[in-house]
Amino acid sequence: MIDLHTHTLFSDGELIPSELARRAKDIGYRAIAFTDHADFSNMDFILSNVSKAVVGLEQYFGLYVFYGVEITHVPPELMKEAIEKSRRLGAQIVVVHGESPVEPVQEGTNRAAIEAECDILAHPGLITKEDAVLAAQKGVVLEISARSGHSFTNGHVFRMAKETGAKYMLDTDTHSPHNLITKDFAKTVLMGSGMSEKEADKAFKTSEYMLEILLKRRYDAQTI
């Protein structure tokens, strides 16, 4: 299981990074990313602290660990600036909180996040076909969410991805220990969104693809 959208107590999650990583490893995770909710007020705090916390977790727990942010409820007009700032501060992955059907996210957030080339557009709700086309062009991954509420529009998100060729993958949006899932359950969520078994396997391949990108970024940063 590769899960690139989780939260720790550095935003609204329940666990410190070490415990979240340990619990993830215990149920079979290969990789996890801590992506706490961020805007301009706290992204430096999140990244400076979580980056310290992950030191040693890979070596001693035996899974890949990354840190970044989920840019959340930032006005679309400021999205590009927020993404660029988070990368300057060291974010290894940038997720943007999309237009979920269960939160009052400002209209235009999906488009702004895609235009600014975030890595993953989380739970993008009733994303338009035009935005999905742009995501395919920009290489932005559309998230299929395992989180209750955000998952209501998984079927629509998958349909838009399928019609446009946009990449899609599953993340848990974990906030509590019980939000972590096995790969078998992840496959159930994917197929529950209307995928065939082959299409669900494609989502897992996208997860592997994203893991390769993150590892390359890390290597490039270390060799500069």
Domain ranges of the chain: 2-223
Under 8 Å between Cβ of 76 and 108: yes
Maximum CA pair distance of the chain?
45
The structure's pTM equals: 0.97
pLDDT at 192 exceeding the cut of 90: yes
**Mean per-residue pLDDT, 201-205:** 98
Length of the chain: 224
Q: What six digits make up the tokens of 172? A: 């848990």
pLDDT tens readout for residues 125-180: 999 999 999 999 999 999 999 999 999 999 999 999 999 999 999 999 999 999 99
DSSP-derived secondary structure letter, 170: E
Q: What is the pLDDT of residue 221?
A: 85
Alpha-carbon gap, residue 137 to 93, rounded angstroms = 19
Q: What is the pLDDT of residue 135?
A: 98
**Mean per-residue pLDDT, 34-62:** 95
Under 8 Å between Cβ of 47 and 54: no
Q: Tokens 């290597």 belong to which residue?
A: 219
Alpha-carbon gap, residue 219 to 213, rounded angstroms = 10
Q: What six digits make up the tokens of 149? A: 């509420």
Q: Which of 23-37, 52-66, 167-181 shows the lowest per-residue confidence on average (mean pLDDT)?
A: 52-66
**Mean per-residue pLDDT, 48-60:** 92
Q: What is the pLDDT of residue 223?
A: 78
**Mean per-residue pLDDT, 203-216:** 98
Under 8 Å between Cβ of 206 and 190: no
Angle at 45 between CA 53 and CA 81, to 5 degrees: 125
2-223: CATH topology: TIM Barrel (3.20.20)
Q: How are strands ordered across the β-sheet holding 64-71?
A: 2-6, 31-38, 64-71, 93-97, 120-122, 141-145, 168-171
Q: What is the pLDDT of residue 224?
A: 65
Under 8 Å between Cβ of 121 and 98: yes
Under 8 Å between Cβ of 122 and 101: no
Q: Which of 137, 161, 8 is nearest to 70 (CA)?
A: 8
pLDDT tens readout for residues 69-127: 999 999 999 999 999 999 999 999 999 999 999 999 999 999 999 999 999 999 999 99
